[in-house]
Structure 1
Amino acid sequence: MADESRSPRAGSHRRGGKRGRRRKPPVRRKGRRIAAWSTAAVVLATGAGLGFLYFKFNGNLHSVDINAALGKNRPDNVDNGSQDILVLGSDSRAGDNGKYGRDEGTSRSDTAMILHVYAGHKKASVVSIPRDTIVPRPECTTTGGKRSPAVKRAQFNEAYTIGGAVCAVKTVEAMTNIRMDHYLEVDFAGFQKLIDKLGGVEVTTTKAIHDKSSHLDLEPGTHKLDGEQSLGLVRTRKGVGDGSDLGRIKLQQAFIKALLDQVKSIGLFTSPTKLYGIADTATKALTTDRELNTVDKLYSFAGGLKGIGSEDMHMITLPVGADPRDPDRVVPLPAESEQVWKALLADREIPKAALGDSQKTDADGVVK
């Protein structure tokens, strides 16, 4: 018969004596408990960390409620699977922009593009609008809350100066009769930091570019541009051709394609440290419409565009000609511009007949 004094059940009821002490749990069971608690701690810490980053990045974003400001007096919202986004490059959110040629005492949109994403999100067209294009500007509310009456002739980028994002969108919609689904504004100082976080962008110049105003000094050849050089390139006017805005737009378009190639090549998701730095910098540089004002909404929007590479993006400049009343300004060519807007509204490719000689500048091929 077994000795009951050694039985676990017998020993479990004893209060004293050496033979009544509990045995130590097996090492295996203790190890399992430690592993379980460690796993739980990692999960909780990771969740808290992700939550912190989510709120941090959300806090970086600025947004404008375009829909509420403009109300119902807008072009129809055509639901054909395509999207139209007004993209502006501005100097409005940081004082560092001044050294790149900002006009004193103003906030301006130096760069304006309408990005049309075709149904299926496999290709896109980009229409750049020269900032010195003379267009009708509708009535807008100024950034100070006052009424600014409509005018028949205004320089395009003055809409942003007068009424910010809302007036810029209203002006574009009046020009195109196309409702903008979204609005994205990129601050130039933030753009510079973002390029540095990406590790620079490689471009090849076929001619020398020298512009003291934009701090740019490039000889012909292949260059890895850092943030400051990249910002100089997209803002230079005097460095190429006749110094017009049309030449600068050509450089911007070539740079954007190089930037798309760079983003695809660096493998962001294999480097959490790099991804964090880029996300932090990018969200600080952006102002969006209210429908894109959270990280998850912005991430979902960007995810819908990830299949579009530089080879899938058709980039043009709004067909313009010299303004008969001001040789330093341009005006849209009525027939050609109408063809562009009608094509985008119908989600069709822009016809070549709409472009003609208006796309040719002496900055063609300077950057490739």
Structure 2
Amino acid sequence: MRAIRLPHGAAVAVTAAVALVSVSACADKDGGGGGSDAIQVTASDTECKVSRTEFPAGHVTLAVHNTGSKVTEVYIYAPGDRIVTERENIGPGTRAEITAEVKAGSYEIACKPGMRGDGIRQKVTATGQGAPRPNDPRLDRAIAEYRRYVQEQADATLPKAEKFAAAVKAGDVAEAKKTYAVSRIGWERTEPVAESFGDIDPKVDVREDGLEQGQTWTGWHRLEKALWKDGKIGEEEKKLADQLIVDLKDWQKRVGTADITATGMANGAKELLDEVATGKVTGEEERYSHTDLVDFQANVEGAQKAYELLKPVVSEKDPALAKELDERFAALYELLDEHRDKGSPDGFVSYDTVGKDERKKLSDGVNALAEPLSKLAAAVAK
């Protein structure tokens, strides 16, 4: 789960209009304004200006310049706050280029200074039909396999979550702590797809500082705080354990209906690395249990799964990228291996024992993988 939560209606990554991801950013305050066909987006603390409000459907590039004093995010929303594409963590004075595949229709481009709230929005329209997509049976197979994978992960999560919930309901703090992290692995592996159902994610995976106004705190992290910080289980927590299972069954039932595309898979892989960078490496995600490394590995495994399914196409279209991704994934797993603990119920040391230098190494490994991974969707779409 990312550090700052989206509004309840927001769906992330894999959506009906979704798809491609080619995202890059630079710290140059003056250069990098995008090509002549790019839609210029000037994001300040109080405005979200776009150079064009109508453009042809198809591949659309946003050249974003954050002129404000706060870190911002930029989104293209389809009706119902379904996210077509997004770019987080655009620092003050920096630029980012976002390329998305947009179908004909009405949308909103939103800037979110401070990475909070509904954002400052501009209505835009994509016209025409866009260029037809080339048919590639390998991508069809990849999508089918990935759909099976996300369903398998949801199916496997339920019994583990039920075991965790049973321990909570029994008032067994020790057993609940032991089963907490492993109950989250399937969710973390497929988080972008899970988040595409915007009403489920805020129920099961929100942190206290990510709550929207008036939102009741439920889910894993609410129980995490009770177990590790409060050290006790009351009647409220037992009810929350039941609710967690209800919400996860809803996810399990609906996950097979997610709109999955090849470029959406690539996009999701990059988002999983962003999740690691913004929540796991920092220790913010599991701030009470310190089981961040379990989530970390699950995010990386989910990203690698999407990449491996797309690899036959990527290897043909951009062999150098495939080679680099293979190397970067292997290097990141080696870094994770340095923190394994066979005596731990979840296989890793507690993250609060990982020092500043070691965290820096993990962060560097994540960044080294994230950069080439941001090119994956563009390679698939060639």
TM-score w.r.t. the length of structure 1 is 0.24
Of Structure 1 and Structure 2, which has the larger fraction of its residues in helix? 2
Higher strand proportion (structure 1 or 2): 1
Q: What is the TM-score with the length of structure 2 in the denominator?
A: 0.23
Larger Cα-atom Rg: 1
